[in-house]
Chains A and B, each alone.
Chain A
């Protein structure tokens, strides 16, 4: 009888923490964003109404938004996503070299993903307020992305880039959201 009691108590003690776990810590799988090679890029994140993936460079973290891919006839893919990036930029150089200035005020750290020459690069704003920056060239707008030198330099308020990540180099598009 005692042995039975001991066995029963032992069983109860070992089961108790398991039962507690399933009741209060129900595990639910996180959604992740995968690249074209099926490799995980990161968890699906949400910031200010946009879905994306968080990237960190140094002490700066931002979210790069993703958007559903459209084909040439404006039909949408049921499964495939791409980085939501701009195809334009303004530069302090006269030939669109170097990093573009950051005019976007979006992200945990302000940042802008730029699509150029088949690559998407996210530029992180330097810490602190916007500063006056002298820009001398730009690319983008409608038509092919050619660089235009400004007739005269222009001073605008923006953020210099503190860091950049070429996010398509390690993680080619299209992207997918899966468990």
Chain B
């Protein structure tokens, strides 16, 4: 019985070692070793990616790829963390009303599926666009966020809806992937 146990252990050890070797070999050949974006809970969000020259990560919403921008976490007006990252909200959010009330609209944006990340304090929400062409909505006001994080609402001089879509889905980004984010190889 003792001999059997030893044999079994040797067999298992060699099998798992061989498995590891094969795995590393496959990774080296077929997959680029990409820097990964991790959330505050240590869960991998996805590989760091570029879309239209911007740095971010893809998130599947309704099975569709949505690109969300990340950047160094802002600590002060022009101060950034060297190591921690955060989701980047759009600095300008369009509304159909003249006073930034009602539903957010989705602008033409750097993402396979048009989307907008909206920051409200520590909460970031992603809104994705309905299918079809832009322009079936009206935009009469913009809520703008300045460098210090202060927001203000201003009416637009003309309807900017031709570059916007209605919302298809709402995704609670910071609930699913809390900040701060880290980028690690």
Contact = CB atoms under 8 A, between A and B. Distances in A.
Interface of A: 2-3, 5-6, 9-10, 13-14, 16-17, 20-21, 25-26, 28-29, 31, 44, 46, 48-51, 68, 71, 73-79, 177-179
Contacts of A13: 9, 12-13, 15-16
A2 B5 contact: yes
B141 to A, nearest CB: 21
Contact of A14 (B1, B16, B129, B131): B16
Nearest to B130: A78
A81 to B, nearest CB: 8
B134 interface: yes
17 contacts: A5-B5, A14-B16, A17-B16, A17-B19, A25-B23, A26-B36, A46-B53, A51-B52, A74-B162, A75-B162, A76-B114, A77-B132, A77-B133, A78-B131, A78-B133, A78-B165, A79-B131
A16 B8 contact: no
B53 A49 contact: yes
A19 to B, nearest CB: 11
Top 3 closest A-B pairs, CB basis?
A49-B53, A13-B12, A177-B112
Residue among A2, A50, A51, A78 with most chain B CB within 10 A: A78
Interface string B127-166: 0011111110000000000000000000000000011010
A120 B110 CA distance: 24
A9 to B, nearest CB: 6
A71 B133 CA distance: 8
Contacts of A29: 60
Given A2-B5, A177-B112, 19 more contacts: A6-B4, A13-B12, A13-B13, A28-B44, A28-B46, A28-B47, A31-B65, A46-B51, A50-B52, A73-B135, A76-B114, A76-B133, A77-B132, A77-B133, A78-B129, A78-B133, A178-B64, A179-B60, A179-B63
A78 B8 contact: no
Nearest to B23: A21
Given A17-B16, A75-B162, A9 B131 contact: no
Residue among B31, B53, B132, B133 with most chain A CB within 10 A: B133
